[in-house]
Amino acid sequence: MKRNDKFDEMIFSGEYYDCNNKELLKYQLECIDIVNEFNNSKASIDNLENRTKLLKEMFGSIGENAYIEPPIHANYGCKNVFVGDNFYANFNLTLIDDGKITIGNNVLIGPNCTIVTPVHPLDVDERLSSKNQKNLPVVIEDNVWIAANVTILPGVTIGKNSVIGAGSLVTKDVEANSLYYGNPAKKIKDLNKK
């Protein structure tokens, strides 16, 4: 399925918009169809080529040597996710990709991880209004390892060569060449620079 420039302008703007717009919901549901096909595809050596083809159709872009263990879950069927080369994600990767998610080269993601881009107003009246969501991009730079059960919140950048420990909640930017973990994730130590 092709990207829709009209919707890209709205959801990538960083401004509040109506996430219940009927045209947008129709586009969103169409994007999700291919994820369901990928998740139900046969796990066999003979089917790897078909899975790779589906990944290329699902994602905004995806590099060479990408492998994802199904199931994967994504609000926009991964259309707003842009991934580099040598990417690996274990099962139950959840991409709340209403906004843009950019993932560099040589990134490893453990099982049961979630990356979130949407933000809703704290004020109840604003939250119930028609302009009730905005999206903040998430960037994961090259050579990052995200261990199991990590959640990354909207607007976060994870610097190159960093490691996020299992079970962490990443609420703020992560320095390059660093180990972070905890809830919320905090810098534990510097890592060797590459």
Q: What is the pLDDT of residue 60?
A: 94
Domains by residue range for the chain, with CATH: 5-190 (2.160.10.10)
The residue that leads in pLDDT, 58 or 130, is 58
- Mean pLDDT is lowest, of 37-51, 55-69, 70-84, for 37-51
pLDDT of residue 47 exceeding 80: yes
Q: Catalytic pick from 56, 120, 172, 194?
A: 120
Contact 148, 112 (CB under 8 A): yes
pLDDT of residue 186 exceeding 90: yes
pLDDT of residue 128 exceeding 90: no
pLDDT of residue 180 exceeding 70: yes
Categorize the per-residue pLDDT at 193 as very low, low, confident or very high, splitting at 50, 70 and 90: low
Q: What percent of the chain has pLDDT over 90?
A: 77
Q: What is the pLDDT of residue 42?
A: 87
Does the model's pTM come out above 0.85?
Answer: yes
Q: What is the pLDDT of residue 129?
A: 85
- What type of residue is 85? D
Contact 173, 135 (CB under 8 A): no
Contact 151, 163 (CB under 8 A): no
Residue 120 appears among annotated catalytic residues: yes
- Mean pLDDT is lowest, of 36-40, 101-105, 106-110, for 36-40
How far apart are the C-alpha atoms of 144 and 90, rounded to whole Å? 14
Categorize the per-residue pLDDT at 44 as very low, low, confident or very high, splitting at 50, 70 and 90: confident
Q: What is the pLDDT of residue 7?
A: 85
Q: Looking at residues 112-140, what average pLDDT do you find? A: 93
CA 103-121-3 angle, to 5 degrees, is 40
Residue 77 CB-half CA count within 13 A: 23
pLDDT of residue 2 exceeding 70: no
